[in-house]
Structures are given as structure tokens and as C-alpha cells.
């Protein structure tokens, strides 16, 4: 069991790019050591003169991938002599890329749904995936989640990249009891029963936004939750659609990898001031479409810029996108 390594992914105001293969495979037990070696090498050798270039990809491009790979392998051997050679194993074929024991390509790996109740390979156990809309967890809710983990999953909680929560190793005899926990029945968190429940909220991701971030250009989390709720009330969507919000071009919410990405930016609307119609600045979004994660990742492209973030402007555009690109229909 181990991992092929990809590096250099980059979101910023000036540049975005996908991660690139390093042609290294790391044993699972050595993953933390490998990451430490990469971080320390970058700390000592990365650019510090230009904040825009204080990212790993710039160091890789300066050195070339072959030189960077060798430098990391040497650093790893220096730091962990008992594990010498552990960072020099070539990348391995992905198990979903070819049929077991053959060189025959299989079907493309499909992104799996992890929300709801799923049987584990361990007999008698299940994992339960909980949706946390836009990833916002308040202090009392965090305490409640911890208590539920102690009660049902031996104190273990797993947090997903889509800002949701998984309780693993739940005894099948306790699943129904977990589903009845008050926290999951107050209208905020929810546990989908099918992969079509809450098609927009289940994959909703958002950065902190201007409510708590001084860099963000717009408020995101509250707006993201409300917009998805309204769209789900008005549209029938038969497939999950991943919507990501980010408050500024730094893209902490990773708008470029979503099916639909919304990035905070300037917008203007016409408004009557002193008897004259003028264009005034308001909170707005740039909309990205077509992002993809997984086996064949792809960064989405700008679909429309300068859309006012007010619902009366945003909802009609989002409806059009969902109908045209994702087969949505009015209820």
C-alpha cells in the first residue's frame, strides 16, 4: 500500500496550474517522512524574495523535475538513513488503470459518493457520511460531533476535502441510533438517503469569506448555503453538482476544480442616485465551469465575469447553467 506523488499544484491571483507527476511511489508508512523532507527542502531552497513565487512549482521549474526529484531523494536519505532509497521508487500503475494481473485498461475511475450509510469491507461495520453545508461547524456543534464519535466510532472522525464528516467503523446495530441523533435532525446537517438527495448542497465547498477573512472580496459561506437551498427548492437536479465558492482570486475555495465555481470579484449595477442612473460597485462573482478532480483532472474556465452576487442577478444565471449543463428542470 502506498502513494504515487504529484506536486506543484498552484492557485493564486497571477497563475493557476494542476499538480504534475513526480514519478515517485512512497510506502504508506513513509508518507509523513517524505512530506517532511519535501517541506524542509522547500523551506531551505524556495524563493523568499517574491511572495508570488514562494510556491513549490517555481522551485521545481528552476531545478527541472529530474533535479528536484534527485534532491528530494537525497534529502530523504539524509534525514532518514534507515529508510534509504524510500524516495527513489518509481511511480506505480494506478490500480484502476489496468485490470488486475493484466495490461488491459479498465473503465475510467468514477468519483464515489461517500455521504450516507455505506457498508465497510469489515463485516458488521459501516461508515456514515454527514453533509456539513459549506463546511461551517459552530463550537457547540463541534462538541456534539466529538460526543457522537465517542459513542459510535471509537472517537474517530474523518474530515473530507469537500468539507464533510465521516464516522467510520460504526457497528451496524448502532447505525439507526446514530441517524436519530438530534444534531442530524435540526435542519442544518443532513445524511442523504440516496445519491440524488440534496444534489447541490452535498458537494458545496466554500472558503471563509469576508465575514472572517480580511482578504476576501465578498461574503461566501452564508450566501453559498442560501443559494444552493433556493436552487434545490426551485429545480429538479438528478445528479450531484459540485459548487465551490471562493472570496478572492487566491482561491482557497478552489473554484477552478468545481463543476461550477464562483470567485469573488467586482461587479456593477445600475442604480438611481440623485435622480440620475449610475453604475455603482457591488459584490460580484466570476463564474467558472468544467473543473474536474480525480483520474483526469481539469481546471475550469471562466464562463462569465462581473456577475452581481445579489440573488436576483445570480439565481437566473445559475438556473440557466444547471439546465443547460446538468439537465436540471423547473419543479
Cα distance between residue 28 and residue 322, in whole Å: 40
Q: Dihedral through CA 290, CA 322, CA 200, CA 313, nearest 10?
A: 100
Tens of pLDDT, residues 11-21: 877 778 888 89
Identify the helix (H) or strand (E) that includes residue 70. helix 65-79
Per DSSP, which regions of 45-164 are E strands? 116-119, 125-130, 158-159
User: Is residue 104 scored above 70 in pLDDT?
Assistant: no
Contacts of 325 (CB under 8 A, 6+ apart): 259, 289
Residue 247 has pLDDT above 80, yes or no: yes
pLDDT at 193: 86
d(CA 331, CA 317): 17
Contact 305, 265 (CB under 8 A): yes
Q: Is 27 exposed, middle or buried (0-12, 13-18, 19+ CB in 10 A)?
A: middle
- Residue 68 CB-half CA count within 13 A: 24
* Cβ-based neighbours of 273, under 8 Å, separated by 6 or more: 280
pLDDT of residue 194: 83
CA distance 288 to 258: 8
C-alpha distance from residue 143 to each of 109, 150, 192 (Å): 36, 11, 22
Q: List phi, psi (to 5°) of 7.
A: -140, 165
pLDDT of residue 284: 96
Contact 252, 16 (CB under 8 A): no
pLDDT digits (tens, 9 = 90+) for 212-225: 999 999 999 999 99
List, as one string, the DSSP characters of 213-281. Answer: -SS-SS--HHHHHHHHHHHHHHEE--S---EEEESSTT-TT-GGGSSEEEEEEEEEEEEEETTEEEEEE
Which of 136-150, 179-193, 226-240, 312-326 is predicted with the least confidence, judged by mean pLDDT? 179-193
pTM over 0.75: yes
Q: Identify which of 8, 63, 53, 21 has the alpha carbon closest to the alpha carbon of residue 74.
A: 63
- pLDDT (tens digit, 9 = 90+) per residue, 260-313? 999 999 999 888 888 888 888 899 999 999 998 877 778 889 999 999 999 999
Please give the Cα distance from 3 to 325 (Å, whole number). 34
Q: What is the mean pLDDT of the chain?
A: 90
Contact in structure between 300 and 287 (CB atoms under 8 Å): no
Amino acid at each position: 500500500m502506498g502513494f504515487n506523488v504529484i506536486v506543484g499544484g498552484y492557485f493564486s491571483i497571477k497563475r493557476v496550474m494542476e499538480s504534475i507527476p513526480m514519478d515517485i511511489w512512497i510506502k504508506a508508512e513513509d508518507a509523513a517522512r517524505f512530506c517532511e523532507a519535501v517541506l524542509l527542502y522547500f523551506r531551505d531552497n524556495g524563493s523568499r524574495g517574491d511572495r508570488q513565487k514562494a510556491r513549490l512549482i517555481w522551485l521545481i521549474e528552476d531545478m527541472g523535475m529530474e533535479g528536484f526529484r534527485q534532491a528530494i531523494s537525497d534529502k530523504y536519505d539524509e534525514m532518514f538513513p534507515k529508510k534509504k532509497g524510500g524516495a527513489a521508487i518509481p511511480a506505480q500503475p494506478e490500480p484502476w488503470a489496468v485490470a488486475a494481473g493484466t495490461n488491459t485498461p479498465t473503465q475510467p475511475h468514477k468519483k464515489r459518493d461517500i455521504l450516507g450509510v455505506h457498508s465497510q469491507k469489515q463485516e458488521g461495520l459501516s461508515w456514515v457520511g454527514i453533509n456539513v453545508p459549506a463546511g461551517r461547524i459552530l463550537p457547540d456543534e463541534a462538541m456534539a460531533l466529538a460526543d457522537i464519535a465517542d459513542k459510535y466510532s471509537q472517537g474517530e472522525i474523518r474530515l473530507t476535502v469537500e468539507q464533510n464528516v465521516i464516522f467510520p467503523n460504526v457497528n451496524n446495530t448502532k447505525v439507526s441510533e446514530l441517524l436519530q441523533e438530534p444534531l442530524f435532525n435540526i435542519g442544518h446537517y443532513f445524511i442523504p438517503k440516496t445519491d440524488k438527495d440534496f444534489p447541490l448542497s452535498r458537494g458545496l465547498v466554500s472558503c471563509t469569506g469576508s465575514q472572517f477573512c480580511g482578504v476576501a472580496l465578498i461574503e461566501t459561506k452564508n450566501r453559498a448555503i442560501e443559494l444552493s437551498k433556493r436552487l434545490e427548492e426551485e429545480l429538479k437536479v438528478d445528479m450531484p453538482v459540485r459548487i465551490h465558492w471562493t472570496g478572492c482570486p487566491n482561491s482557497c475555495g478552489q473554484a477552478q476544480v468545481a463543476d461550477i465555481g464562483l470567485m469573488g470579484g467586482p461587479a456593477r449595477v445600475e442604480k438611481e442616485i440623485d435622480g440620475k442612473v449610475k453604475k455603482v460597485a457591488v459584490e460580484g462573482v466570476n463564474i467558472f465551469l468544467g473543473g474536474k478532480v480525480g483520474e483526469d483532472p481539469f481546471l475550469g474556465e471562466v464562463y462569465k465575469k462581473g456577475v452581481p452576487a445579489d440573488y436576483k442577478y445570480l439565481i437566473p444565471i445559475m438556473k440557466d447553467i444547471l439546465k443547460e449543463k446538468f439537465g436540471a428542470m423547473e419543479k
